[in-house]
Structure formats: structure tokens, C-alpha cells
Structure 1
């Protein structure tokens, strides 16, 4: 179960990522707001996140860190404008989350190849688990 603090951290990371190219695009804002609603985050807390500095919260579970990374990676595709700084941000974030750098690179490449910007959950997990050996 994700705590309220973890929910706010996820949204804060999403906001930080959406600002990488200098502007929060309308599609990015709507996507983040939709996630906030799904997570049952109060609207006042959500709006306040845009004016607060973001603090990265690293999850203990590798699965949660992968899930967090993937959610943020999806955001890079929702505005249909892929900026190089977004790619660099995602790579650095993945490293901060303690994820394997080769897996990070491969996931981002697979998402780029996909017409929808999404990859199957099984493929996502297999990319990270194959690096364990």
C-alpha cells in the first residue's frame, strides 16, 4: 500500500519531470492531475506541489522503484514532445532510485520504439530482472 507521502512524492517527481523542458504543457498537467485523482490526493495538496521543492523518496521495494520509474517515463510520452533533457532526467532519476543503468537505457529505448510509448509489464520486469544474473 502506498502512503500519502509516497503519493505526493510521485506527483512531485512528475511535476519536476514535466518542467525539464521549461514548461508544464497542458497534456502533462492533465495527466498528472488524473494520476493525483486516481491516488485520491486532495486538490489543495496537488496544487501546492507546484510551488514546493521536490524531495525524492526512494522506495525500499525494487518493484515499487521500477513502477515509479515507469510511471514517470510514461509522462515523457504524453505530450508527444520528447526533449533530450527529459531523457537525461529519467536516466539520472533511475540511478537515484538504485536501478540498473543498462536496464534504464533499455526501458527508455523500448518505449521510444513503441508506437504508444508503452511497453508490456512482463517486458518491463524482465528487462530489470535479467540484469540480476
Structure 2
């Protein structure tokens, strides 16, 4: 299980990802707040993170990093149109988390084939398992 600092770091990272254009869209805010609730982060702490990001803490657990990458994929795909800049940003976030370059590319390439570009969690896990073994 991840600790509070790691949870705040994950959320801060997601907020930074959503703030590509300086503003967080309403749909992104709702999604991020939903993640905050799942992580047992209060609305006050969540809103504080929007204005005051914290330093990124790399997760020790490979499975937690995969879950976080999946959250970022879902967040990115809230927009109808995903820009090449957003894809590069997501790819770089994945690399910074220590995920496999090949697995990240495979997820990004295959997400187009899923409805609403939503990669099912079990499919995503299988992609990373292949590279992890």
C-alpha cells in the first residue's frame, strides 16, 4: 500500500499533466477529484495541490506505477483530440516512472483500437507483464 506522501505525489503529477494549457477542464477536475477520493485525499488537500504542486516521489511498486500510468492514459483521453505533445508528455511520464519504453509505446499504439481509447486494465497489465518478465 502506498503512503500519504506517495498519494499526494501521484495526484500532484496528474494535476500537472492536466495543466497542459494552464487550466484544468471541468471534466478533468471531476476525474482528478474522483481519483483523490479513491486515494483518501480531502477536497481541501486536492485543491491545495492544484496551486502548490509537490515534488514527485517515484513509486517502489511496479504494479502501482502501472496503475498510475493507466490513470494518466484515462486522464489524457478525456479530451476528444489528443495532441502529439500530450502523447510525448505521457510517454515521458511513463519513462520517469521507470516503465518499459516498449510497453509504453505498445499501449499508446494500441489505445486507438479501443472504444473511446480506453485501454482495459487487464490488457494494459498484460502488456507490462510481458516486458517485466
Q: What residue in structure 2 maps to residue 90 of structure 1?
A: 90
Aligned-pair RMSD on alpha carbons?
Answer: 1.6
Aligned pairs, how many? 133
Residue ranges of structure 1 left out of the alignment (5+ in a row) = none
Measure how far apart 1:64 and its partner are.
Answer: 1.0
> Do the aligned partners of residues 50 and 20 (structure 1) sit closer, same or farther apart at CA in structure 2, a change above 3 Å counting?
same
Secondary structure of 1:57's match? coil
Alpha-carbon distance between aligned partners in 2 of 1:126 and 1:89, rounded to the nearest angstrom:
23
> Do the aligned partners of residues 54 and 20 (structure 1) sit closer, same or farther apart at CA in structure 2, a change above 3 Å counting?
farther
Query: Runs in 1 of length 4+ with deviation above 6 angstroms?
Result: none
Measure how far apart 1:48 and its partner are.
Answer: 0.6
1:21–1:83 contact (8 Å) kept in structure 2: no
After TM superposition, the score normalised by the length of structure 1 is 0.89
After TM superposition, the score normalised by the length of structure 2 is 0.89
